[in-house]
Amino acid sequence: MPATVVVGLQWGDEGKGKTTDLLSDSVDLVVRYQGGDNAGHTVVLGGEVFKLHLIPSGILHPHITPVLGCGVVVNPKTLLDEMSALQERGIDTSRLRVSHAAHVIMPYHIAQDQATEARLDAEGLGTTRRGIGPAYADRAWRTGIRVGDLLDRQGLRHKLARILPGRNAMLHEAFGLPVLDLDAVHADAAACGERLAPHITDTTGLVQDALAGGQHVLLEGAQGTLLDLDHGTYPFVTSSNAVAGGACTGGGVGPRQIDRVIGVMKAYSTRVGSGPFPTELDDQTGRHLVERGSEFGTTTGRRRRCGWFDAVPLRSAVAVNSASSIMLNKLDVLSGLPELRLCTGYRVDGRDRHWPLSADELQRAEPVYRTMAGWTEDLGAVRRMSDLPPAAVDYVRAIEDMAGVPISLLSVGAERTRTIVRDPLGDGALAVRALTEQSAA
């Protein structure tokens, strides 16, 4: 009963969508275990670009059951819109399963997120303004609405009648916003429930049955380790556990059921939103990374902040996720940079420091760099490690040494085929079918 976790090792947007897609021919279920429509996972399939926010990337493959686990927060409207948009492109969404225990992002969560960010402006977290934080706060406060509640019209009204006055008071008194009408909020939520009803189920049971039946379950993380509520750069984080451990609580599997954790990272660093970023580049090299890497947010369109590779948080990310291997994406983006820097340590207030550091300390961290030679060759057509320029091989090996686990897959372009398999018997065996089929086509 194999279960594989795909988890981001940095600040999100590492290319988890491509990684999941690459493995999809070998798996039966793809389960999103946390986050909501703050995520943006891009999959390039047969020349078509799909940008998925809430629905797991597995939806694109008819043999896969895509699942939203109980750790996800669901905005029912954006979910239905995303389903419709996929249907219009000929993708069957009837297989999608949504946990009855996942929490619902309500209109007052979105209003609160937006108003808080607008008020704080430059001091804000730079959230995606999708209501993620307030929805998870209600979950922890035990005042949340769950997806299963949408199916019980009367019970839902009773719950909303209890919750809404407090939320309205906050919206009105703290932010001067118009109050929400109980009838309208209830009618909208119940209507979404009716449309989602065929998809709502106990997904933990579904996942456990699949594992018991010998099916391969892939648990797809959103965001990344450095945005994890507990292990990231708090408070500049998202409100859920993006780390592999979150796959247990949010996906409905036990720790001993996971036998492979693929950490996904890119060959440099990016971050969207506020918060410390020691290796950030605000110069020509930063612009190279933005332009060559098309580093603009999938969800908000914001320009991503770019910087050098950073081994300090990576070592901790590999450990906390118990990553068994790494998929290193976007190596091609570095082509043309005369030299490359890799951050190997931090100095804070004149002292060597390791992860973790507080956000304040991280803000003051001075990166210690190792400099390596760059390369000019385009890597898009490279499919074997031995065909990479020697400087690129050295760079990959240096990252591998610092990470302490094998880099099993390397990506040199957004398309599936632009992949180098380094371990044909490990993760490579899961990816190999996809690659063989593509090259035969």
Catalytically active residues are 13, 41
Nearest distance from residue 202's CB to Mg ion, in Å? 29
Residue found by looking up tokens 């309208």 in the block? 184
Residue ranges in 256-315 that form contacts with Mg ion under rule CB under 5 A: 298
Pairing of strands 339-348, 351-353: antiparallel
Tokens coding 177: 């916003």
Residue found by looking up tokens 């931090």 in the block? 346
Q: Among 8-16, 73-81, 386-394, 396-404, which window interacts with ligand IMO (CB under 6 A)?
A: 8-16
Instruction: Report the alpha-carbon distance of residue 402 to residue 153 in Å, rounded.
Output: 54
Interface mask (CB under 6 A) for ligand IMO, residues 25-64, using x and -? -------------xxxx-----------------------
Q: Among 70-78, 139-147, 195-203, 328-336, which window interacts with ligand GDP (CB under 6 A)?
A: 328-336
| Those residues with Cβ within 8 angstroms of residue 307's Cβ, 6 or more apart along the chain or in another chain | 268, 269, 270, 271, 277, 278, 279, 280, 281, 286, 289
Are 20 and 280 in contact, with CB atoms under 8 Å apart? no
User: CA–CA distance from 249 to each of 20, 238, 246, 312 (Å)?
Assistant: 20, 17, 5, 27
Contact partner at residue 18 from Mg ion, ligand GDP, ligand IMO, none, CB < 5 to 8 Å by partner kind: ligand GDP
β-pair partners for 260: 4
Rg (CA), the chain: 22
CA triple 437-426-64, angle to 5 deg: 50
Instruction: Report the alpha-carbon distance of residue 19 to residue 270 in Å, rounded.
Output: 18
Q: Does the protein bind ligand IMO through residue 12 (CB under 6 A)?
A: yes
Residue ranges in 414-433 that form contacts with ligand GDP under rule CB under 6 A: 414
Residue ranges in 26-55 that form contacts with ligand GDP under rule CB under 6 A: 40-42, 44
HSE-up (13 A, CA, CB side) for residue 314? 28
Question: Which one, of 396, 391, 436, lies nearest residue 417 by Cα?
Answer: 436
Nearest distance from residue 110's CB to ligand IMO, in Å? 10
Among 4, 6, 8, 355, contact with ligand IMO (rule: CB under 6 A)? 8
Nearest distance from residue 23's CB to ligand IMO, in Å? 17
Contact partner at residue 38 from ligand IMO, Mg ion, ligand GDP, none, CB < 5 to 8 Å by partner kind: ligand IMO
The residue count for binding ligand GDP (CB under 6 A) is 21
Q: Which residue's CB is nearer to ligand GDP, number 40 or number 232?
A: 40
Contact partner at residue 133 from Mg ion, ligand IMO, ligand GDP, none, CB < 5 to 8 Å by partner kind: ligand IMO
For the chain, the maximum distance between any two Cα atoms, rounded to a whole number of angstroms, is 67
Contact partner at residue 127 from ligand IMO, Mg ion, ligand GDP, none, CB < 5 to 8 Å by partner kind: ligand IMO
Among 5, 13, 108, 110, contact with Mg ion (rule: CB under 5 A)? 13
Contact partner at residue 238 from Mg ion, ligand IMO, ligand GDP, none, CB < 5 to 8 Å by partner kind: ligand IMO
Tell whether the torsion through CA atoms of 82, 207, 255 and 140 is positive or negative.
Answer: positive
Helix (H, G, I), strand (E, B) or coil at 194: helix
Q: Among 7-15, 87-95, 178-186, 347-355, which window interacts with ligand GDP (CB under 6 A)?
A: 7-15
| Those residues with Cβ within 8 angstroms of residue 2's Cβ, 6 or more apart along the chain or in another chain | 216, 217, 259, 260
Residue ranges in 106-135 that form contacts with ligand IMO under rule CB under 6 A: 125-128, 130, 132-133
Residue ranges in 372-431 that form contacts with ligand IMO under rule CB under 6 A: none
Binding site for ligand IMO (CB under 6 A): 8, 11-13, 38-41, 125-128, 130, 132-133, 222-224, 227, 238-239, 272-273, 298
Binding site for ligand GDP (CB under 6 A): 8, 12-18, 40-42, 44, 298, 329-330, 332-333, 411-414
